[in-house]
């Protein structure tokens, strides 16, 4: 097997050709990517369920909109917290255990929150928090196959992607900021048959 170059912390942006309805126009933040597979959360799928409805103690730290996001089609009955801790992004060599108690660095200023911990541990450090129900997962080599088939664009993430106040526009805004022909893909019509 060939060595897998880690894409942890990067974004997968669904191409217009991706036919899976679970990922139509999806922007996925990869939280883990290695030879054992990949795990990420879809950043632009808000649900009508408020964070206060399922994790009341974390609601005050959740950014706008204060709803739970569908992180992907796997384990919809589980919750993941992803938070940005300002001031942590400039430390690329920092070990994953650095940062506030109850937060584990994924990439730069972005990390996973221990939702079993008391929110007070993180309240002073967290710049933004999103709660996700479920996640997107790929087995060994599965994501690499989808990349080879052209299903995803891989781009750099920015801390603001996690807490975008307009998640319905995230797909277009991530593509628009690219300095390549990908910026043109942002203009792709929602329904190409109307073109």
Q: CB of 113 within 8 A of CB of 103?
A: yes
pTM, full prediction? 0.89
Q: Give the three-state DSSP class for 154.
A: strand
Nearest to 83 by CA among 49, 45, 41: 41
The predicted pLDDT at position 1 comes to: 37
The predicted pLDDT at position 93 comes to: 40
Q: What is the rounded CA–CA span in Å between residue 44 and residue 150?
A: 20
Measured CA to CA in angstroms, residue 42 lies from 12, 74, 90, 93, 179 at distances of: 9, 11, 25, 26, 23
Nearest to 112 by CA among 52, 32, 175, 26: 32
Per-residue pLDDT of the chain (195 residues; tens, 9 = 90+): 344 578 999 999 999 988 888 999 999 999 999 999 999 999 999 999 999 999 999 999 998 999 999 999 999 999 999 999 987 655 444 444 568 899 999 999 999 999 999 999 999 999 889 999 999 999 999 999 999 999 999 999 988 999 999 999 999 999 999 988 888 887 877 655 554
Nearest to 139 by CA among 61, 32, 53: 32
């Amino acid at each position: 097997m060939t060595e897998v170059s880690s894409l942890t912390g990067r974004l997968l942006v669904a191409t217009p050709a991706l036919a899976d309805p679970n990922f139509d126009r999806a922007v996925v933040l990869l939280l883990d990517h290695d030879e054992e597979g990949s795990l990420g959360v879809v950043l632009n799928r808000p649900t009508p369920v408020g964070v206060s409805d399922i994790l009341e103690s974390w609601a005050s730290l959740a950014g706008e909109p204060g709803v739970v996001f569908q992180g992907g089609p796997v384990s919809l009955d589980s919750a993941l917290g992803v938070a940005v801790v300002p001031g942590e992004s400039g430390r690329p060599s920092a070990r994953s255990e650095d940062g506030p108690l109850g937060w584990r660095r994924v990439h730069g200023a972005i990390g996973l929150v221990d939702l079993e911990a008391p929110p007070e541990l993180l309240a002073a450090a967290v710049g933004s928090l999103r709660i996700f129900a479920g996640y997107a997962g790929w087995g060994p080599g599965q994501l690499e196959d989808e990349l080879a088939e052209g299903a995803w664009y891989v781009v750099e993430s920015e801390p603001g992607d996690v807490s975008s106040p307009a998640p319905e526009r995230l797909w277009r805004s991530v593509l628009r900021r690219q300095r390549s022909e990908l910026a043109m893909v942002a203009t792709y019509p929602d329904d190409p048959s109307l073109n």
